[in-house]
């Protein structure tokens, strides 16, 4: 590998390489060598910017979690528009893009990574916990607008939707489910909540 060549946006380049390896080869193939080979840089580049590989992976996951902020704002902005089912189905489809599903698999498969992530997410699976909070926030907004029943427990409904969504999207071999399947699952989950 070349040395002495400046790399712009090292974090972004390494994170992009990690995501490509993760999508192509799965969490077991994600090593520091695989990431740096994919990024086209020396292995030392990763270790100059991160304490170790689990620190790198923890920052990769935290970066994915931070990206939820934009999705959360857009979903909150959708409250009162369209249908609740369509808004939720769209949010799940965006949330469970192939990289997010692969990141969840990565977190589940690496004990050292989970230990690092406990510093910022003490319970649950990082990314899924924050996604559930995003859905709960949206559902609370819809409840305030009267588009879902006042007695709806949004703090319980949101993780149920995340679990359903994860089950629908987790099978990477057959690709993502079609829109109708996601909408059907969401409609069933919220059926008792709609006025």
DSSP string, 21-84: HHHHH-GGG--HHHHHHHHTS-HHHHHHHSSSHHHHHHHHHHHHHHTHHHHHHHHHHHTTSS-H
Tens of pLDDT, residue by residue over 81-110, are 999 999 999 999 999 887 888 898 899 889
Contacts of 54 (CB under 8 A, 6+ apart): 110, 112, 113, 115, 116
Helix and strand tally (H, E) in the chain? Answer: 11, 0
pLDDT at residue number 2: 46
Residues in the chain, overall count: 195
Percent of the chain surpassing pLDDT 70: 95
Q: How far apart are CA 18 and CA 38, in angstroms?
A: 8
Q: What's the rounded mean pLDDT across residues 48-58?
A: 93
Domains (ranges, CATH) in the chain?
10-49 (1.10.10.60), 63-193 (1.10.357)
Q: What pTM was computed for the model?
A: 0.87
Tens of pLDDT, residue by residue over 102-146, are 898 899 889 889 888 988 888 888 889 999 999 999 999 999 999
CA-nearest of 52, 34, 39 to 11 is 39
Provide the 8-state DSSP code for 121.
-
Q: How far apart are CA 58 and CA 56, in angstroms?
A: 5
Q: How far apart are CA 128 and CA 65, in angstroms?
A: 9
């Amino acid at each position: 590998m070349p040395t002495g060549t400046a790399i712009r946006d090292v974090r972004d380049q390494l994170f992009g390489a990690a995501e490509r390896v993760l999508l192509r080869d799965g969490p077991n193939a994600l090593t520091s060598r695989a990431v740096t080979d994919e990024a086209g840089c020396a292995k030392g580049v990763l270790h100059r910017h991160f304490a170790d590989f689990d620190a790198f992976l923890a920052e990769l996951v935290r970066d994915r979690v931070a990206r939820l902020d934009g999705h959360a704002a857009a979903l909150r902005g959708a409250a009162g528009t369209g249908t609740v089912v369509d808004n939720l189905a769209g949010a799940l489809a965006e949330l469970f893009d192939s990289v997010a599903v692969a990141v969840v698999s990565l977190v589940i498969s690496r004990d050292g990574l989970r230990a690092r992530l406990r510093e910022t997410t003490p319970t649950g699976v990082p990314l899924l916990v924050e996604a559930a909070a995003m859905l709960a926030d949206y559902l609370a907004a819809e409840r305030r607008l009267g588009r879902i029943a006042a007695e709806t427990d949004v703090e319980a409904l949101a993780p149920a939707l995340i679990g359903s969504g994860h089950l629908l999207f987790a099978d990477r071999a057959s690709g993502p489910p079609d829109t109708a399947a996601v909408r059907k699952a969401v409609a069933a989950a919220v059926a008792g909540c709609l006025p």
